[in-house]
Amino acid sequence: MKGSVVISLFALLALASSVASAYDPSPLQDFCVGLNDTKLGVFVNGKFCKDPKLVKADDFFFHIMPGNTSNPLGSQVTQVSVNEFPGLNTLGISLARIDYAQYGLNPPHIHPRATEVLTVLEGTLMVGFVASNQNDNRLFTKVLNKGDVFVFPFSMIHFQLNVGYGDAVALSSLSSQNPGVITVAKAVFGSTPPISPEVLTKAFQVDKNIIAYLQKQAWYDNN
């Protein structure tokens, strides 16, 4: 498993240097630990930099607790972006821990600002992503076991489903300090205000009653 995690991290670093630099800022200093006090720092990409002389080792440390999977999806994503971990500021990377109950699903979603490398730490996951219209919306899917690594290309719709006999845990590494997430079903059917039924009935080629039913659902956010 350690070898797979190392591979995942090397892949993440490569992605961060080649992809994220076009979106996240390139550091102009050794580090820029983010803080919210406007009187004590310089504003950089949505965050103020802590005075380097006041930075400590704890600014580069974060402990991830297991997520609560007692929800309709049976999964919980614990994000560790710059908002949760200020030491990531300007470094162009972030991560997340994903916990899955048996049959738990991390539903189809998009990271609008990142490529993702997923490493399975425990359990068995069926994962996949769908290519764009340019590539005929091809589905790429695979069953992963402990120690396996899979990459979801930049901004592609992707998912993970626990198909094992027990709980599962995965580590997600992302090529942005603030990758964002758009859960497809929630965004389409749970938007505020709602998307016009005329748009959705025509787009999905279904009866307006089906659209009305979907828009009334309480779409759960596992992030």
Give per-residue burial for 138-160: e unless 16+ CB within 10 Å, then b.
eebeeebebebbbbbebbbbbbb
pLDDT band at 126 (very low <50, low <70, confident <90, very high): very high
- Cα–Cα distance between 72 and 167 in angstroms, integer? 15
Assigned token pair, 147: 């120690």
Partners of residue 202 on adjacent β-strands = none
CATH number at residue 124: 2.60.120.10
Co-location of 150 and 218 in the same domain: no
> What domain range includes position 58?
2-180
Co-location of 30 and 130 in the same domain: yes
| Residue 124, helix vs strand vs coil | coil
pTM of the model: 0.84
Co-location of 166 and 194 in the same domain: no
Q: What is the pLDDT of residue 18?
A: 44
Partners of residue 183 on adjacent β-strands = 109
Co-location of 121 and 12 in the same domain: yes
- Count of structural domains, the chain: 2
Between 45 and 91, residue with greater pLDDT: 91
Residue with tokens 């749970």: 190
Instruction: Write out the H or E segment, with its range, that includes residue 109.
Output: strand 105-110
